[in-house]
A and B are shown apart, each in its own frame.
Chain A
């Protein structure tokens, strides 16, 4: 673990990997240290923002250092099942890259249990980990200018679902009708960090 200064109101915790990020995020969100405002997990880091009128860098850093980041494993969060139809325009391309038949790509994608590592890119866009390593494929070399809402995609070690129409470069495997984002719902995002996810064909 390495703690980096990040201006007057934040610090950045560098961790060994996603497991530690999830562990630290979960531990800190269960008992938010005094003065801490937001926790933003990402692939290798946790951003901690705080109110400098209420606490100090050193106080927040001390709490972070004293937190066990190894105890938590993905899998304790609630389970969300997303109905999916494997009809995506990149299914054949993913099959070619993976060296598998298209129906086997769909079977393996639906067989895994995923966990939300972090969110970003757009409100409610969750980066899901835990997929079959054989389905690890790069982004499309040319992003699409519009990806429809509900599109289920793959990129690198992640799978994800576009909450609303947007540009995007992920390889699209299928479609879900699940409402991923609703600002009038509490919480507004269906998938939050730690949530477990299964795709159900």
Chain B
């Protein structure tokens, strides 16, 4: 059992989401930075899809009722376990009664806390993820919550430390054009990959919003709503692009001018408000 003493600005339970229900209006949800969740699970000997805590801008404080092995990945933050300093990207031993305290990350936005055995909240449609758009899954983690530790481990931790690239200060995201890149002007397509954008404070798990030059539509026609994907870059009427993350709506009515490469979408999920981001048309050698 883990007792939540303080959740920080926003902490949710996340796994790899609930695929297979988009045709019923249910998005996949799951970790915003999928690669970091997978790594955290591997570090503690969990299946890659086990449920973890996704901690936004640190500030999480929990007490472990039992000894546990944990790992932190994603946005690197200072951590203490029972008053002893620990490090990220490697397994960390926690004793019964220890408080685990996460500081504010120096870079990045979302830190993943994996516990050996997984976080055991009741699954909804096969996933323990909190979907902040549809309201499915458990509510955000709150002070006083008691989270059960599951029995989901399948091996022993095998590495002491995973080498992870430092999160970049200025982010460059590779975008594959389409399906609606012809719905903005040629000048807007050029501006999109030459301008510098800033991550807006309005960003959340649904999408990253950007401040920067507007992208003009090529016509006045309305697009009937169509299916959306994670990584899609939508151009709403104000012309400022929105990059869809884990809790994106399953359909949308604004044109998608391109889709960010899956790995780069993980990086975008770590972009902080105010951070500078630029886009590049990606390799279009399709397979």
- Please give the residue numbers on chain A whose beta carbons come within 8 Å of chain B beta carbons, in ascending order: 4-10, 12, 25, 37-47, 49, 52, 56-57, 118-126, 164, 183, 187-189, 192-193
Task: Give the Cβ gap from B130 to chain A, nearest Cβ, in Å.
Answer: 13
Q: Please, how many residues of chain B have a CB less than 8 angstroms from a CB on the other chain? A: 37
Interface centre among B20, B24, B135, B256 (most CB of A within 10 A): B24
Q: List 16 A-B contacts (CB under 8 A).
A: A7-B258, A7-B261, A8-B259, A38-B22, A40-B250, A43-B226, A44-B226, A45-B224, A45-B227, A47-B226, A49-B22, A52-B287, A56-B287, A125-B25, A183-B136, A189-B25
Counted as pairs of residues, one from A and one from B, with CB atoms less than 8 Å apart, the total is 116
If A6-B179, A12-B226 touch, does A189 touch B134 (CB 8 Å cutoff)? Answer: no
Chain A CB within 8 A of B249 CB = yes
A192–B177 Cα gap in the complex (Å)? 32
Chain B facing A: main interface SS: loop
List chain B positions with a Cβ less than 8 A from chain A: 19-26, 124-125, 134-136, 176-180, 224-229, 231-232, 249-251, 256, 258-262, 286-287
Chain B residues lying within 8 Å of A56, measured Cβ to Cβ, are 287
What are the residues of chain B within 8 A of A57 when measuring CB–CB?
A: 286-287
Contacts of A41 in B (CB 8 A): 23, 227
Q: B179 near A12 (CB under 8 angstroms)?
A: yes
| 3 A-B pairs closest in CB distance | A47-B227, A7-B259, A40-B227
Chain A nearest CB: distance from B260 CB in Å? Answer: 8
Residues of B within 8 A of A120 (CB): 25, 225, 249-251
Smallest beta-carbon distance A30→chain B, Å:
14
**In the bound complex, do residue A122 and residue B134 qualify as a contact, i.e. CB atoms below 8 Å apart?**
yes
